[in-house]
Structure 1
């Protein structure tokens, strides 16, 4: 298998399936395509998939070019990896959380891009982004309470891969979740995501 990823410092969509693929334990080739902020190097990426975007997973003659679709494929291809929870209720809610991140939190994503090459900073946030953070805290706390942690649906799952880039944003832009209704659970969860060995390997490569 080969995973084509965008620039490690910025490409949240590449980080998510990369984490899932690492959790399978499968060997894979990694190809990084340098992106310009806000645009892809379309000619390079178009050679891999019709979307012209990263990431792309290649498995034999099959190419998959959406981060959530890649993760779903990996969960089916490597069932022993447990990329989704075994419990049906936990699995349904983990999937819902991942889908919510995949299509939502647009203000937070737009105003606070992932920037692994930048030191922590404080930033005034718009009301829309603040509301996204409150929504994020409510979601995290609800799932952590329901399934008991340490991750959103119990053990690590694809849902946690989808929120790992969010944890980097909270750190980069100095967001104190206590200001948004957190009792400490959400902040502790974000810290766990940032201490995941596979994320630390991604971050080290991004900064190296």
Structure 2
């Protein structure tokens, strides 16, 4: 049975990227179903009015699951061999904690540095409210890389945590956020993943369906 992942804009939607990456990391074969930019739920997500609990949405084996963390847990149960969550109970709890923090927090970072893979803003001035979120992300990355030895947040295998923080790597690149060596290397490593390169190229070819978003942000 073919699975279907419903997503919105590849250029603007960080949540769609997370869900898509999780499916790819799990090894799931799926078809993409794009919601139109005019859809109210899509608009709410892209204008940062909602983290969009309906997009991405995965349909697989007669089951529909939405919300990025719910998709992550479903994929981990269905494809345990993919190792989306660490095997060690302590590391698994740590992974779930930082994923939950990304899922529900970092509001200032989201609003100040909206997802836009096509854009580049050299020497972007980050306002003080967002800097605290950026510093917290860097602390999480450094702690994980030091604790588990890299090259990814929980060691040698990509996990849910890397998928959850991948859009932040893209945001930091778009807005020229200054990073220490360890964090810069990690962000570059994530952006160089074949899956990220594929997504970014597709975003670059995406029609400008939401031209007014730059103003509304």
TM-score, normalised to structure 1, is 0.88
- 1:89 and 1:13, CA in 2 relative to 1: closer, same or farther beyond 3 A? same
Instruction: Report the more deviating stretch, 100-109 or 86-95.
Output: 86-95
Aligned length: 195
What CA distance in whole angstroms lies between the structure 2 residues aligned with 1:189 and 1:37? 35
Which residue is 2:203 aligned to? 206
- Give the drift of 1:39: 5.6
Moved more, 153-162 or 28-37: 28-37
Q: Which residue of 8, 16, 37 corresponds with 2:18? A: 16
Question: Quick one: structure 1 residues 33 and 190, their matched pair in 2 at CA, closer, same or farther if it must change by over 3 Å?
Answer: same
Cα offsets for 1:37-81 (capped at 9, x unmatched): 996269xxxxxxxx7731111124321120110111001110011
Rounded Cα–Cα distance in structure 1 between residues aligned with 2:184 and 2:53: 36
Secondary structure of residue in 1 paired with 2:24: helix
> Structure 1, unaligned stretches of length 5 or more?
43-50
Structure 1 segments, 4+ long, off by >3 Å, are 36-39
Q: Deviations over 1:71-95 (max 9, x none)?
A: 1100111001111111222211111
Secondary structure, in 3 states, of the residue corresponding to 2:42? coil
Alpha carbons of structure 1 residues 195 and 38: separation in structure 2 relative to 1, 3 Å: farther
> Is the 1:33–1:41 Cα contact (8 Å) retained in structure 2?
no
162, 165, 168: which one pairs with 1:166?
168
TM-score after normalising by structure 2:
0.84
Q: Deviations over 1:103-148 (max 9, x none)?
A: 1111001110110121343322111101111111111111110110
C-alpha contact 1:93 1:153 (8 A) present in aligned 2: no
Structure-1 residue corresponding to 2:75: 74
Is this contact kept in 2: 1:9–1:207, CA < 8 A?
A: yes
Could you tell me which residue of structure 2 aligns to residue 48 of structure 1? none
Cα distance in 2 for residues equivalent to 1:37 and 1:127:
33
2: CA distance between counterparts of 1:90 and 1:35? 38
The CA distance in 2 between the partners of 1:142 and 1:119, in whole Å, is: 28
Greater Cα offset, 29-38 or 113-122: 29-38
Aligned CA RMSD, in angstroms, stands at 1.9
